[in-house]
Amino acid sequence: SLLAVAVLVLSLLWWMSTRRPPGLPPGPGPALPLLGHLHLLDKDFRSTFRKWRRQYGDVFSLYMGGRLVVVLNGYQTIKEALVKNGDVFSERPSIFVMDRIVNNKGVAGSSGAVWKEQRKASLEILREMGLGKNVLAEKVQEEVTHYIKALHSYQGQQVDVSQMTHISISNNICSIVFGQRFEYDDSFFNTLLESVDLNMKTVGGSVVLNFMPWLEYLPGDLFKFKRTLANVDFVENNLIHPVLKEHIDNHTEGNASDFIHAYIREIRKREESGQPTTVNTENLLKIIGDLFVAGTETTATAIRWALVFFLHNPDVQDKCYDEIQRVVGTERAPSMRDKPELTYLEATIMEVLRRGNIAPLAVQHGLSRDVTFHGYTIPKEAIVLPFLETALLDPEAWDEPSAFRPERFIGPDGKLKKPDELIPFGVGRRVCLGESLARVELFLYLATMIQHFRFLPPEDGRLPSLEGVLGVTYSAKPFTVRAVSRK
Ligand code: HEM
């Protein structure tokens, strides 16, 4: 009975410690010891969040395990936090798994001065590659021809394009980062893809540790965290590091032919000036990982969503096709120069990004200090989730938000219009670093795909689901499609 009393007292202490103190944003009732409100969340916890938003308003809070999480809803609220209060809301939170893997290096998971310097350096390099001759677009355009060839090889038979899309989009990152693309059966390339993929899978299981870090001390590797760490190590040391070394050994002054060379140039520049800096090979190594992780699944998911919407809306496909016929014809590949004239295609891409809702909760934000927001006090330790979906599918902003309708982006003058609520890449200082690359990719892939093919459902006419699954991204469920040559 002494044990029972002890358990009761401890539980009570836990309960007190996870009870929402006064001043915090409202949210669901008392948190359970250890679990917080995790037990109340649906498997797809967006539905629970939507319910709580209706109940508690645009800023609500909950406990995931012992961690306080604040969810921001609606475009105005998200903008007010991430833009107007961008000096406070632009960090990444300290989270067990990320702390161990990222260790405040690179760009996607770092904070403070490190993040500022890495973000600026990476963005400048990507911008440089996207300007003038547009090396970035040239590399993507080359990869698109291989992707189209792969689609043609199925000769109009039904196929699940997930794998080949993933491979092709990763190859763009290879071209940009390493300066070379790989054949789809190249062994280095496939090991790299498999390892990154394995990481995405195992790290998913480790997420539990973010909210209950003490579980780390259980024997074995129940949450596959040790496996994840070993795999990250393998990717960095056995795959990326050799390429990095080869670049360093062969770097000639001013060479900026790919991301790694351009970054090495920046390292050398800073070495010469003798200024203290975080621009070094350790951070470069992490950034390379960031670009693969953040830049592959997202864009590949967008292309798969585009196909889902094409199958449901053959008229949209045909309108895009007619426009491409008129502007580009069949004799040459579409290029970035065509973009200003392909208005309907552009509107279609915007609608794919909106309705596809690829990153419904963006990436977790952290705070640089305690902050008063909407009259509430949010402590520095909170994890902040910008619920982008509430802007992308806001019924106040969009007529029939779940309908796929590119026309909503075309004004009465025939010109494109971009409503504020279209924020698939987030907003503020942390806005997606790869937005311009993603836009180049989506434009060149979709324009060329439509130029070559009419996309049809499989013979049995079965259409893919319009409901996706929430994982690292919100992605379309597996489906097959027939890419029938327009010729
Ligand atoms: C961050 C969306 C493609 C690199 C983000 C964020 C979103 C996003 C919502 C989080 C913003 C925030 O923290 O509030 C997307 C979508 C894409 C896409 C929808 C494709 C359709 C790419 C590509 C790259 C990339 C191609 C690679 C070049 C990054 C990086 C970050 C990021 C490095 C972290 C930025 C930082 O922490 O400062 N992206 N992204 N993304 N994205 Fe993307």
Question: Is 12 a residue whose pLDDT tops 80?
Answer: no
pLDDT band at 483 (very low <50, low <70, confident <90, very high): very high
DSSP state of 30: P
Residue 122 is predicted with a pLDDT of 98
Residue among 90, 102, 125, 432 whose CB has most ligand 1 atoms within 8 A, to mutate: 432
Atom of ligand 1 nearest to the CA of 365: 13
Interface predicted TM-score (ipTM) over 0.95: yes
Question: Is 72 a residue whose pLDDT tops 60?
Answer: yes
Atom of ligand 1 nearest to the CA of 358: 19
Tell me the whole-structure pTM to 2 decimals. 0.94
Residue 19 is predicted with a pLDDT of 65
**Locus of tokens 């491979």:** 167
Q: How remote is the CA of residue 359 from the centroid of ligand 1, in Å?
A: 9
Quickly list H helices, 96-224: 96-102, 112-130, 135-152, 162-178, 187-206, 208-211
Residue among 78, 298, 470 whose CB has most ligand 1 atoms within 8 A, to mutate: 298
Which structure tokens are listed for 74? 């609606």
pLDDT in tens, 86-115: 999 999 999 888 888 889 999 999 999 999
Question: Is 369 a residue whose pLDDT tops 80?
Answer: yes
Q: What is the mean pLDDT of residues 309-336?
A: 97
Residue 149 is predicted with a pLDDT of 97
Q: Average pLDDT, whole number, for the chain?
A: 93
pLDDT band at 197 (very low <50, low <70, confident <90, very high): confident
Q: How remote is the CA of residue 110 from the centroid of ligand 1, in Å?
A: 14
Residue 401 is predicted with a pLDDT of 98
Which structure tokens are listed for 143? 């990869």
Question: Is 441 a residue whose pLDDT tops 90?
Answer: yes
Write out residues with Cβ below 6 Å of ligand 1: 107-108, 119, 290-291, 294-295, 298-299, 302, 358-359, 362-363, 386, 424-426, 430-434, 437-438
What is the distance between the alpha carbons of residues 364 and 202, in angstroms, rounded to a whole number?
Answer: 19
pLDDT in tens, 52-64: 999 999 999 999 9
Q: Would you call 432 helix, strand, or coil by DSSP? A: coil
Q: How remote is the CA of residue 88 from the centroid of ligand 1, in Å?
A: 20
Which structure tokens are listed for 140? 């993507």
Atom of ligand 1 nearest to the CA of 115: 38
Q: Which residues contact 386 (CB under 8 A, 6 or more apart)?
A: 72, 78, 81, 82, 361, 362, 365, 426, 427
Question: Is 463 a residue whose pLDDT tops 70?
Answer: yes
How far apart, in Å, do the first and last CA atoms of the chain sit? 81
Q: How remote is the CA of residue 143 from the centroid of ligand 1, in Å?
A: 21
Instruction: Choose among 375, 173, 388: nearest CA to 289.
Output: 173
Question: Is 139 a residue whose pLDDT tops 60?
Answer: yes
3-state helix, strand, coil in the chain (%, to 5): 55, 10, 35
Q: How remote is the CA of residue 288 from the centroid of ligand 1, in Å?
A: 14
pLDDT band at 13 (very low <50, low <70, confident <90, very high): low
Quickly list H helices, 313-406: 314-327, 343-356, 389-392
pLDDT band at 306 (very low <50, low <70, confident <90, very high): very high
Question: Is 456 a residue whose pLDDT tops 90?
Answer: yes
Quickly list H helices, 207-280: 208-211, 225-234, 241-250, 259-273
pLDDT band at 14 (very low <50, low <70, confident <90, very high): low
Q: Which residues contact 46 (CB under 8 A, 6 or more apart)?
A: 360, 361, 387, 389, 470
What is the distance of C-alpha 262 from the center of its chain?
A: 24
pLDDT band at 17 (very low <50, low <70, confident <90, very high): low
Q: When comparing pLDDT for 439 and 7, which is higher?
A: 439
Q: How remote is the CA of residue 471 from the centroid of ligand 1, in Å?
A: 15
CB 327 within 8 A of CB 451: no
Residue 304, judged by CB atoms within 10 A of its CB (0-12, 13-18, 19+), counts as buried
pLDDT in tens, 231-286: 889 999 989 999 999 999 999 998 999 999 999 999 999 999 988 999 999 999 99
Question: Is 387 a residue whose pLDDT tops 70?
Answer: yes
Residue 223 is predicted with a pLDDT of 84
What is the distance between the alpha carbons of residues 457 and 449, in angstroms, rounded to a whole number?
Answer: 16
Residue 100 is predicted with a pLDDT of 87
Residue 207 is predicted with a pLDDT of 79
Question: Is 74 a residue whose pLDDT tops 90?
Answer: yes
Q: How remote is the CA of residue 425 from the centroid of ligand 1, in Å?
A: 6
CB 467 within 8 A of CB 308: no
Residue 210 is predicted with a pLDDT of 84
Residue 472 is predicted with a pLDDT of 84
